[in-house]
Amino acid sequence: MTNLKNFKKIFPPNELPFRIFFNPDCMLHDTGFSYPECAQRLQSIIEGCLSLANKDFICFNYPPAASISQLTSLHPRDYLTRLETQCLQGREFFMSLDNPICPQTFDAILAAGGLAIALGNHLNSRKGGFALTRPPGHHAGIAKAEGFCFLNHAGLIERQIRKEYPKAKIFIIDFDVHHGNGTSDIFLEDNRIFYMSIHSSPKQTYPGSGHKDEKGERGGKGYTLNLPLPVGTDGDTWLKTVESNITEAISVFNPDFMLISAGFDAHVDDPFALMRVEDKHYLSIVSTLIAITETYCPGRLGIILEGGYSLDVLRHLVPEIISQLSAFYNRD
Ligand SMILES: [Zn+2]
């Protein structure tokens, strides 16, 4: 890893409207040999950013780690202290065999939480950004770690927005190949959040939820839209499915904020090999989401990193998306 001091020379923090939120401590979470959710994922994204031809539009910010108190806006204190204790004790896993931990894991978790909080604040100031959150978050519940996730970053951003805009309506689109069961559960009864997820069939894929007939509960009924697709779905079908469903959902909901849970594990080159989405489809969906954001809530587009386990895909595609977003929002 290029050290942060040199990195800051190439990407000095500045005041451009669209910002990339990054904390190298997110790489302290060591998951062991050849584990798919690894520190090299972030390293690959950073390497890709360093080799971008035009860096003028790219604006990195380096927010501090979150405090435990800040995280209690969403997660119970006893869950957080149990997590911290078990990391420091040198335990191997926390709550699930999918969640290996090491003594520094809690530092990485606080760093990632800090990125989510910074992005929430930035969205409140009518600007957008991309938080390079690791470990990822969309499988984490309020007091439940699973699927590589410990904190729910979409939930933390929602809490941060809510502090300034108690009635804000937030549209979350989750295009990770796995259903974001944590995010879905948190907002299941909430009609101020519209959660739309496109993912691989729950009959064949972890976490086994996200069926088409799960549409939200009680007051939140009609505010969850699941778009499961069979394993092996190609990128054209994936893109068409998002585009043909999002327009109506969003025009009815009329959001104040747009949030993308961006996982890149539906990519044809991802080792999970669940779908065949290509670079061009991701770039196209990001263009669509930029256009939608400009129509409904100009500038307020927040992106958080979820899954995606091909280091090569992360190295070239995420920086390209960062370029695309930065060139659009930082153009003036
Ligand atoms: Zn995933």
The pLDDT of 115-126, averaged and rounded, is 98
Task: Taking the CA atoms of 113, 116, 118 and 121 in sequence, report the sign of the dihedral they define.
Answer: negative
Q: For 2-29, what is each residue's pLDDT tens digit?
A: 577 888 888 988 889 999 999 999 999 9
Look at residue 331 in the predicted model and tell me its pLDDT.
Answer: 83
CA of 74 from ligand 1 middle (Å) equals 22
CA of 197 from ligand 1 middle (Å) equals 12
Look at residue 6 in the predicted model and tell me its pLDDT.
Answer: 82
Q: Indicate if the pLDDT at residue 140 is higher than 70.
A: yes
Distance between CA atoms of residues 12 and 56, nearest Å: 11
Look at residue 101 in the predicted model and tell me its pLDDT.
Answer: 98
Q: For 272-325, what is each residue's pLDDT tens digit?
A: 999 999 999 999 999 999 999 999 999 999 999 999 999 999 999 999 999 999
CA of 10 from ligand 1 middle (Å) equals 31
**Band of the pLDDT at 113, cuts 50, 70, 90?**
very high
CA of 183 from ligand 1 middle (Å) equals 13
CA of 231 from ligand 1 middle (Å) equals 13
CA of 65 from ligand 1 middle (Å) equals 24
Look at residue 3 in the predicted model and tell me its pLDDT.
Answer: 73
**Given phi > 0 = left and psi -120 to 50 = alpha, else beta, which region is 147?**
left
**Band of the pLDDT at 1, cuts 50, 70, 90?**
low
Q: For 185-242, what is each residue's pLDDT tens digit?
A: 999 999 999 999 999 999 999 999 999 999 999 999 999 999 999 999 999 999 999 9
Look at residue 301 in the predicted model and tell me its pLDDT.
Answer: 98
More confident residue, 56 or 106: 106
**Band of the pLDDT at 75, cuts 50, 70, 90?**
very high
CA of 179 from ligand 1 middle (Å) equals 7
Look at residue 261 in the predicted model and tell me its pLDDT.
Answer: 98
Token pair of 155, please? 């939930």
Look at residue 4 in the predicted model and tell me its pLDDT.
Answer: 77
Kindly list the domain boundaries of the chain, sorted by start residue. 17-329
CATH architecture of 17-329: 3-Layer(aba) Sandwich (3.40)
CA of 166 from ligand 1 middle (Å) equals 30
Q: Which position among 29, 122, 139, 153 bears the catalytic label?
A: 139
CA of 232 from ligand 1 middle (Å) equals 15
The pLDDT of 140-156, averaged and rounded, is 98
Residue 122 among the catalytic residues:
no
